Amino acid sequence: MIMKTQILLSLLLCLFCFSAFGQDKSQDYQLDARLGIGLFPTFLKDDATVNVLPLTAQMDYRLNKMFSLGAYVGYSKSTALEEDIFAEGDDLNWENQFISTGIRATIHYQTEYKNWEIYGGFIAAMNFSNINVLEGRPSTVETLQLKDRSSFSYSAFVGTRFHFTDQIGVFGELGFMTSLANIGFSYRF
């Protein structure tokens, strides 16, 4: 059920972005796609071992020179071992596959250098955790309520982007979803 909801939400967000395609064509490039990797996964705070570094995919539709709306999808996978949880000395080893999907509103500032911009904005997302217990007693798992979870979250972000050509560039971004910092490649079309 969680996967169906996530796929439906992602498709709706993509349709929203692409539906605006036939609008104002005064700009050369209106769509901006980005693929990134997280440098500081949010699950490190739980002393987790990161199995898959956070991966992000983003698509923004530029409404005008200063404002864009877009979609975001992030994924990470981590494991954690919690020792001596109860008086009985139970250990619990669990794995979390985390998926975040949301919408972004961004304000862009074009610097005096043509190919470099600074941006910031707001993201609202649905987060899905698929938690699998690798080792531990079922009673321990139920007591700690380690079940598949979904939650709503929001965050601000700030970033910078530099384009080597009119279409190809790199970006760096600070925010809070699957990672506290992301870097990656950007492509405008």
d(CA 165, CA 91): 53
pLDDT band at 106 (very low <50, low <70, confident <90, very high): very high
> Tokens 């990672």, residue?
179
Query: Residue 22: what pLDDT?
Result: 47
Q: Which pLDDT tens digit goes with each residue over 107-138?
A: 999 888 888 999 999 999 999 988 777 776 65
Query: Residue 20: what pLDDT?
Result: 46
Q: Which pLDDT tens digit goes with each residue over 83-96?
A: 655 556 667 777 88
Residue 157 CB partners (closer than 8 Å, separation 6+)? 104, 120, 121, 122, 123, 173, 174, 175, 176
Mean pLDDT for the stretch of residues 25-54: 81
The whole domain housing 58 covers 2-19+27-188
Mean pLDDT for the stretch of residues 62-82: 90
Check whether 33 has a pLDDT greater than 70.
Answer: yes
- Lowest average pLDDT, out of 32-41, 88-97, 107-116, 171-180, goes to 88-97
Average pLDDT, the chain: 81
> How many domains does the chain fold into?
1
Provide the 8-state DSSP code for 88.
T
Query: Residue 7: what pLDDT?
Result: 56
- The CATH number of residue 119's host domain is 2.40.160.20
Query: Residue 130: what pLDDT?
Result: 84
pLDDT band at 104 (very low <50, low <70, confident <90, very high): very high
Query: Residue 146: what pLDDT?
Result: 57
- Lowest average pLDDT, out of 80-84, 144-148, 160-164, goes to 144-148
Instruction: Compute CA distances 177 → 20, 47, 103, 133, 173, whole Å.
Output: 26, 17, 12, 23, 11
Check whether 164 has a pLDDT greater than 90.
Answer: yes
